[in-house]
Structure 1
Amino acid sequence: MANNNYIDIMEKNHMEIPWHDYTSQDSDVLISKAGLIEKASVIGRVGLIMLSCGTGAWRVRTSMNRLSKELGVTCTVDVGLMSIEFNCFDGTDCISQSLSIANTGVNTSKLYRMEQFVDDFPTEEAHLTGEEIHRCLDKIEQIHTLYSPIRLGLAAAIACCAFTFLLGGGPIEMLLAFIAAGIGNLIRTKLIKHHFTLFLNISVSISASCFVYAVCLKILEIAFHVPSVHEAGYICSMLFIIPGFPFITSGIDLAKLDLRSGLERLSYAIIIVLVATMFAWIMALLLSLRPLDFTDLNLDPILYLILRLIASFFGVFGFSIMFNSSTPMAATAALIGAIANTLRLELVDLTSMPAPAAAFAGALMAGLLASIIKKNNGYPRISLTVPSIVIMVPGLYLYRAIYNFGIMALSDAVSWFASAIMIIIALPLGLIFARILTDKTFRYCT
């Protein structure tokens, strides 16, 4: 009997935490009058849910601190990518806890609800018992994806189709990227839903996207005599895998000297990029695909500007839906992204500004607009800024760098890689300085 129980417990590598065991279900003692263990369970669970949404250490710590002050507790917190270690003091006792999540991801809808919970805590949840608060948190934890795998596949299709145009692709590349990215992300979301490991879902979804793109292109070549030069768009069909949230939040954490969280998030993002680009390179070799330059579209500058605005809007909207944003939140982020990304592209074309400097300007604009909008609708700033600048992340540059490394064209590889690194550094810097300018709590080190 004991052996069977042991097997049941070990089915999950990360054991579930029985939060309700920290409270008395029939107790009428308010959380403000409860013991330190019960208070610490609420504080720790709030931080853990925030962490599971994909937000950075700064926001997790701020939320835990606000609850601690309201409950008369002193709290010190160390936050990583998937774990939290914290101590709670109340003058007489001390509680230390180490909590972790089973997997990391992004859920902006849950993050929005958690920020509302923290904001309303002094007037609402602070007047409830610990058991009642955990029931509220149970409901928030049940906010999973708002969209089915088919809709998430469609969102990726729209985002990558728009991405293709913004990178210089034409209608054929856009159509093929739409089909391939949609199928690739559909497979990816199915694998995530069944809890398959990170490496597996990246490799399978990326391989599927490249394969579908090559097959569709071959069909067009046979049926409509489409030239093979359109194979250049296969890179765009896999850009749904870009780890925008960990890239950006790692920069923000490093700016606040949260080195553990920042470096762990950066490592996570690098792992995704390396695995994705390696499998894309392997598929390119198997399918004889080459990352060629796109042919010039020869569009009127005014028309090009308008189309860039439209493509940026739909690209950001698609990425925001993939991050589980509600439709209004996604549309708000898309408006910001349309302005910021078009500004970036126009600065490069009209002023010959270097791409990293233009990326900084675009990210700065996105951060400033998000700060203004947050004051009116209360959406989490990160839920608006990250989707709006994910479309600026140089996924094409990173892939071309790995591709050229693979074929030993080292000079080209270093050039593409250096350009990508400069832009990747510029993007979080733009958001950080926008935050410094608009958020006095972020401006100081206290």
Structure 2
Amino acid sequence: MTEDEHGYTHHLSRHHHMKIQWDDFFKSDDNTLARNATIVEKGSLVGRIGIMLLSCGTGAWRVRDSMDTVARTLGITCSADIGLVSIEYTCFGLDNESYSQTLSIPSTGVNMTKLNAMEKFVRQFEKGHGHWTLGQINTRLEEIEGFTTSYPTWITGLASGLACAGFIFLLGGSLPEVICAFFGAGVGNYVRGEMGKHKITLVAKIAAGVAVACAVYFAIFMLLQKLTNIDYHHIYGYIGAMLFVIPGFPFITSGLDMSKLDMRSGLERMTYAALIILIATMTGWAVAMILQIHPGTMPKLQLNPIVLTVLRFIASFCGVFGFSIMFNSRPEMAATAAISGAIANTLRLSLVDFDHIPAALAAFIGATLAGLLASIVRNKVGFPRIALTVPSIVIMVPGLYMYKAMFNFGMTNINIGAYWIVEALMIVAALPLGLLTARIITDKKWRHVDW
């Protein structure tokens, strides 16, 4: 603690990333209208809103757009440089006044409920022409900051189990793989969530979550084999148990940010996503070596095309819904994303299997459809577009290919590993390009370099 010249006690943060005490920082009365505040307070308000949006996992373009909206409403100009976990910005007012700040958050995450609330706040603030008092703004922002998590870890564990069960079916798994992946992913993500509550670092919680997921899959499989004598080839579905760690948001937002020349944010997000994939695949490979299992071909599903398509739609719905809950979406938002994602992903898989379209081109078409559907839904109900598109796209990310690539690299099968990594990269590149195409078609602000 420290005291100022007036004897006022300030409580300074003890965290490595020091938390800003916004209540102490604003000196004007709570009844002061935001438009009548000082340039320092206006600029700080713009920054606080920007860093809160950044903490939700959304991309640089959306953060900057919201900061610009608030700044414009307050009668000032904002110029911002945005990264994965930090913002550097300057606000310009009248009479040669300007105010610069650098803000950062300790880690990145995804919270669609919080993002939806922040976007609503920005729209309401703009609609009210800034006639909010500083007290009203602070109260509302503190309420939104309380949306740190929407669900307990056991719920997100069940959601990840549901998502990965659907995911492994879409990869060709049958009932034994679905059951084992459900339990493996559920327990693995529960462990990761509990470690996250204790502020354990990214590397440790990802590695522990994946290791537990693979071990639980193996244990459930061995139990099923003992009880029902199932085919040993069903063990190859263990890859599905670790797919809950796929970094869908940083993957997709990195491509979208780079398309708008937000290169700093785009490259930082891509590096972050690559780090998660590296940790997850290396951990999965290590556990596979310990348990003496390796990637292989799961027994083929003997289903006619109509039944297969219907089941793929259901599995896609479950997968997207599960990922949406993991991203802290409200159930109605998650269900909406699941419907559009199921339509887009079922189309993608049908194009590959029945029309023999290359996987990357089919992924582009599926992502474009998901983006178009999200734009329609946004105009109808107002959900954030990214909350609908990213869960729809995560189910299309080739996590199986990425793991096979890393496994073969680990076994020094370089040619085979290179084949799988190229296959994965083609699809990964196609997904944000599909969303970008849909965004250009439906969003006039996105269509132009500046608007």
TM-score (norm 1): 0.97
Instruction: Note if 1:337 corresponds to 2:345.
Output: no
> What do the CA deviations read for 1:229-287 (whole angstroms, capped 9, x no partner)?
11111000000000000000000000000000000000000000000000000000000
- State the identity %: 51
| 1:418 alignment partner AA | V
Instruction: Note if 1:246 corresponds to 2:267.
Output: no
Instruction: Report what 2:110 is aligned to.
Output: 106
Aligned mates of 1:45, 1:436 — CA distance in 2: 29
Aligned mates of 2:109, 2:165 — CA distance in 1: 24
5+ residue gaps, structure 2, are: 3-10
Distance 1:87 1:226, change over 3 A: same
Instruction: Report what 1:31 is aligned to.
Output: 34
Instruction: Write the mapping of 1:313-392 to structure 2, written as runs, cut at 5 A.
Output: 313-392=317-396
- Answer yes or no: is the 8 Å Cα contact 2:255–2:266 preserved in 1: yes
**Cα distance, 1:193 vs structure 2:** 1.1
**Cα distance, 1:22 vs structure 2:** 3.1
Instruction: Write the mapping of 1:40-439 to structure 2, written as runs, cut at 5 A.
Output: 40-91=43-94, 92-124=96-128, 126-439=130-443
Range with bigger deviation, 235-244 or 217-226:
217-226
- Answer yes or no: is the 8 Å Cα contact 1:157–1:179 preserved in 2: yes
Structure 2 SS opposite 1:76: strand
> What do the CA deviations read for 1:90-133 (whole angstroms, capped 9, x no partner)?
13211010000111000000000000001110334821222321
Aligned mates of 1:395, 1:28 — CA distance in 2: 52
**Cα distance, 1:27 vs structure 2:** 4.8
Instruction: Report what 1:441 is aligned to.
Output: 445
**Cα distance, 1:10 vs structure 2:** 6.9
Aligned mates of 1:296, 1:333 — CA distance in 2: 29
Aligned mates of 1:228, 1:295 — CA distance in 2: 9
Structure 1 counterpart of 2:15, from 12, 17, 24: 12
Distance 1:27 1:399, change over 3 A: closer
Structure 1 SS opposite 2:150: coil
Structure 2 SS opposite 1:352: coil
**Cα distance, 1:23 vs structure 2:** 2.2
Aligned mates of 1:159, 1:431 — CA distance in 2: 22
**Cα distance, 1:194 vs structure 2:** 1.1
| 2:403 alignment partner AA | Y
- Answer yes or no: is the 8 Å Cα contact 2:218–2:235 preserved in 1: yes
**Cα distance, 1:37 vs structure 2:** 0.6
Aligned residues: 441
- Answer yes or no: is the 8 Å Cα contact 2:13–2:20 preserved in 1: no
| 2:75 alignment partner AA | G
- Answer yes or no: is the 8 Å Cα contact 2:31–2:135 preserved in 1: no
| 1:147 alignment partner AA | Y
- Answer yes or no: is the 8 Å Cα contact 1:38–1:130 preserved in 2: no
Aligned mates of 1:27, 1:319 — CA distance in 2: 40
- Answer yes or no: is the 8 Å Cα contact 2:56–2:109 preserved in 1: yes
Structure 1 SS opposite 2:88: strand
| 1:193 alignment partner AA | K
Range with bigger deviation, 170-179 or 219-228:
219-228
Structure 2 counterpart of 1:22, from 21, 25, 28: 25
**Cα distance, 1:227 vs structure 2:** 2.7
Aligned mates of 2:197, 2:266 — CA distance in 1: 27
Aligned mates of 1:408, 1:320 — CA distance in 2: 37
Aligned mates of 2:255, 2:29 — CA distance in 1: 46
**Cα distance, 1:138 vs structure 2:** 0.7
Aligned mates of 2:222, 2:291 — CA distance in 1: 11
Structure 2 SS opposite 1:127: coil
- Answer yes or no: is the 8 Å Cα contact 1:110–1:140 preserved in 2: yes
Aligned mates of 1:411, 1:215 — CA distance in 2: 32
| 1:113 alignment partner AA | A
5+ residue gaps, structure 1, are: 3-7
> What do the CA deviations read for 1:293-347 (whole angstroms, capped 9, x no partner)?
1211110100001101111001100000000000000000000111000000000
- Answer yes or no: is the 8 Å Cα contact 1:184–1:206 preserved in 2: yes
**Cα distance, 1:16 vs structure 2:** 0.7
Structure 1 SS opposite 2:102: strand
**Cα distance, 1:21 vs structure 2:** 2.3
Instruction: Report what 1:5 is aligned to.
Output: none
Aligned mates of 2:109, 2:55 — CA distance in 1: 6
> What do the CA deviations read for 1:56-108 (whole angstroms, capped 9, x no partner)?
00000000001111111011000000000000011321101000011100000
Distance 1:104 1:322, change over 3 A: same
TM-score (norm 2): 0.96
- Answer yes or no: is the 8 Å Cα contact 1:42–1:134 preserved in 2: no
Aligned mates of 1:123, 1:215 — CA distance in 2: 56
